[in-house]
Structure 1
Amino acid sequence: MEKPIEELSFEDALKELETIVSRLETGEAPLDQAISLYERGDKLRRRCANRLDAAQARIESIRLDSEGRAAGTQPFAAG
Protein backbone atom coordinates (compact mmCIF):
# COMPACT_ATOMS: atom_id res chain seq x y z
CA MET A 1 0.00 0.00 0.00
CA GLU A 2 1.31 3.43 -0.94
CA LYS A 3 2.07 5.89 1.81
CA PRO A 4 0.18 9.20 1.56
CA ILE A 5 2.31 11.75 -0.26
CA GLU A 6 1.88 14.31 2.53
CA GLU A 7 3.66 11.95 4.92
CA LEU A 8 6.71 11.34 2.71
CA SER A 9 10.01 13.03 3.39
CA PHE A 10 11.58 14.91 0.50
CA GLU A 11 14.06 12.09 -0.02
CA ASP A 12 11.38 9.37 -0.03
CA ALA A 13 9.17 11.35 -2.40
CA LEU A 14 12.08 11.92 -4.78
CA LYS A 15 13.07 8.25 -4.68
CA GLU A 16 9.50 7.15 -5.46
CA LEU A 17 9.27 9.72 -8.26
CA GLU A 18 12.48 8.36 -9.80
CA THR A 19 11.05 4.82 -9.63
CA ILE A 20 7.84 5.95 -11.33
CA VAL A 21 9.74 7.72 -14.09
CA SER A 22 11.82 4.59 -14.71
CA ARG A 23 8.70 2.42 -14.91
CA LEU A 24 7.02 4.82 -17.32
CA GLU A 25 10.11 5.04 -19.51
CA THR A 26 10.10 1.28 -20.06
CA GLY A 27 6.64 1.51 -21.61
CA GLU A 28 5.72 -1.87 -20.15
CA ALA A 29 2.92 -0.67 -17.86
CA PRO A 30 -0.61 -1.11 -19.19
CA LEU A 31 -2.33 2.17 -20.08
CA ASP A 32 -4.50 2.34 -16.93
CA GLN A 33 -1.50 1.69 -14.71
CA ALA A 34 0.63 4.18 -16.63
CA ILE A 35 -2.01 6.87 -16.12
CA SER A 36 -2.15 6.14 -12.38
CA LEU A 37 1.64 6.19 -12.17
CA TYR A 38 1.75 9.50 -14.04
CA GLU A 39 -0.85 11.05 -11.72
CA ARG A 40 1.02 9.95 -8.58
CA GLY A 41 4.31 11.09 -10.12
CA ASP A 42 2.86 14.53 -10.77
CA LYS A 43 1.73 14.80 -7.14
CA LEU A 44 5.17 13.68 -5.96
CA ARG A 45 6.82 16.24 -8.24
CA ARG A 46 4.66 19.01 -6.78
CA ARG A 47 5.45 17.84 -3.23
CA CYS A 48 9.19 17.94 -3.93
CA ALA A 49 8.94 21.37 -5.60
CA ASN A 50 7.01 22.76 -2.63
CA ARG A 51 9.57 21.41 -0.17
CA LEU A 52 12.42 22.93 -2.20
CA ASP A 53 10.61 26.28 -2.40
CA ALA A 54 10.12 26.25 1.38
CA ALA A 55 13.79 25.48 1.95
CA GLN A 56 14.84 28.27 -0.40
CA ALA A 57 12.56 30.74 1.38
CA ARG A 58 14.13 29.80 4.72
CA ILE A 59 17.60 30.37 3.33
CA GLU A 60 16.54 33.71 1.87
CA SER A 61 15.11 34.83 5.21
CA ILE A 62 18.58 35.01 6.79
CA ARG A 63 19.33 38.68 7.51
CA LEU A 64 22.77 40.14 6.89
CA ASP A 65 24.44 42.99 8.77
CA SER A 66 26.20 45.94 7.06
CA GLU A 67 29.35 43.83 6.61
CA GLY A 68 27.52 40.93 4.99
CA ARG A 69 27.60 38.63 8.02
CA ALA A 70 24.54 36.71 9.14
CA ALA A 71 22.83 38.85 11.76
CA GLY A 72 19.85 36.61 12.48
CA THR A 73 16.92 35.04 10.81
CA GLN A 74 13.36 35.98 10.19
CA PRO A 75 10.72 33.39 10.93
CA PHE A 76 9.39 31.55 7.92
CA ALA A 77 6.09 29.73 7.87
CA ALA A 78 6.01 27.01 5.23
CA GLY A 79 2.62 26.53 3.65
Structure 2
Amino acid sequence: MAEKKKSFEDNLADLEKIVTDLEAGNVPLEEAMEKFKTGVTLSKNLEKTLADAETTVTKIMSKDGSESTFKENNNEDAK
Protein backbone atom coordinates (compact mmCIF):
# COMPACT_ATOMS: atom_id res chain seq x y z
CA MET A 1 0.00 0.00 0.00
CA ALA A 2 1.37 3.42 -0.94
CA GLU A 3 2.23 5.71 1.93
CA LYS A 4 0.23 8.94 2.06
CA LYS A 5 2.41 11.94 1.21
CA LYS A 6 3.19 13.91 4.34
CA SER A 7 2.36 17.58 4.57
CA PHE A 8 4.98 20.31 4.77
CA GLU A 9 4.16 20.73 8.45
CA ASP A 10 4.54 17.00 9.16
CA ASN A 11 7.94 16.94 7.44
CA LEU A 12 9.03 20.05 9.34
CA ALA A 13 7.99 18.42 12.62
CA ASP A 14 10.00 15.31 11.68
CA LEU A 15 13.04 17.44 10.94
CA GLU A 16 12.67 19.32 14.24
CA LYS A 17 12.49 15.98 16.10
CA ILE A 18 15.66 14.77 14.38
CA VAL A 19 17.50 17.98 15.27
CA THR A 20 16.35 17.74 18.88
CA ASP A 21 17.47 14.10 19.12
CA LEU A 22 20.87 14.84 17.60
CA GLU A 23 21.42 17.91 19.78
CA ALA A 24 20.65 15.85 22.88
CA GLY A 25 23.56 13.59 21.98
CA ASN A 26 21.93 10.44 23.34
CA VAL A 27 21.77 8.69 19.95
CA PRO A 28 24.21 5.90 19.01
CA LEU A 29 26.56 6.87 16.18
CA GLU A 30 24.99 4.60 13.55
CA GLU A 31 21.51 5.86 14.35
CA ALA A 32 22.77 9.45 14.43
CA MET A 33 24.22 9.06 10.93
CA GLU A 34 20.92 7.69 9.61
CA LYS A 35 18.98 10.49 11.31
CA PHE A 36 21.42 13.04 9.86
CA LYS A 37 20.93 11.65 6.32
CA THR A 38 17.16 11.69 6.77
CA GLY A 39 17.36 15.24 8.11
CA VAL A 40 19.35 16.44 5.11
CA THR A 41 16.82 14.87 2.74
CA LEU A 42 13.92 16.42 4.64
CA SER A 43 15.65 19.80 4.65
CA LYS A 44 16.19 19.72 0.87
CA ASN A 45 12.58 18.67 0.26
CA LEU A 46 11.27 21.42 2.55
CA GLU A 47 13.47 23.99 0.84
CA LYS A 48 12.16 22.90 -2.59
CA THR A 49 8.56 23.07 -1.36
CA LEU A 50 9.14 26.62 -0.11
CA ALA A 51 10.81 27.66 -3.37
CA ASP A 52 7.92 26.20 -5.39
CA ALA A 53 5.41 27.98 -3.17
CA GLU A 54 7.27 31.27 -3.56
CA THR A 55 7.28 30.87 -7.34
CA THR A 56 3.54 30.18 -7.35
CA VAL A 57 2.73 33.08 -5.06
CA THR A 58 4.81 35.59 -6.99
CA LYS A 59 3.20 34.91 -10.38
CA ILE A 60 1.16 37.76 -11.75
CA MET A 61 -1.46 37.48 -14.45
CA SER A 62 -1.18 40.14 -17.17
CA LYS A 63 -4.20 41.68 -18.85
CA ASP A 64 -3.58 39.48 -21.90
CA GLY A 65 -3.76 36.35 -19.73
CA SER A 66 -0.03 35.60 -19.73
CA GLU A 67 1.83 34.92 -16.52
CA SER A 68 4.97 36.64 -15.37
CA THR A 69 6.83 36.50 -12.12
CA PHE A 70 6.68 39.37 -9.68
CA LYS A 71 10.40 40.02 -10.24
CA GLU A 72 9.95 40.24 -14.04
CA ASN A 73 7.06 42.63 -13.55
CA ASN A 74 9.06 44.80 -11.13
CA ASN A 75 12.00 44.93 -13.56
CA GLU A 76 9.69 46.19 -16.30
CA ASP A 77 8.30 48.84 -13.94
CA ALA A 78 11.83 50.06 -13.18
CA LYS A 79 12.49 50.86 -16.86
Normalising by structure 2, we get a TM-score of 0.71
Segments of 4+ moved more than 4 angstroms: none
Runs (5+) with no aligned partner, structure 1: 66-70, 75-79
What's the offset of the Cα at 1:64? 6.0
- Per-residue Cα deviation, 1:12-57 (whole angstroms, up to 9, x for no partner): 0000000000000001100000000000000100111010000000
Q: Which residue of 2 aligns with 1:77?
A: none
Runs (5+) with no aligned partner, structure 2: 68-79
Structure number with the bigger relative contact order (C-alpha 8 A, sep ≥ 6) is: 1
Aligned residues: 66
Alignment root-mean-square deviation, CA: 2.6
Which is richer in helix? 2
Structure number, greater radius of gyration = 2
Normalising by structure 1, we get a TM-score of 0.71
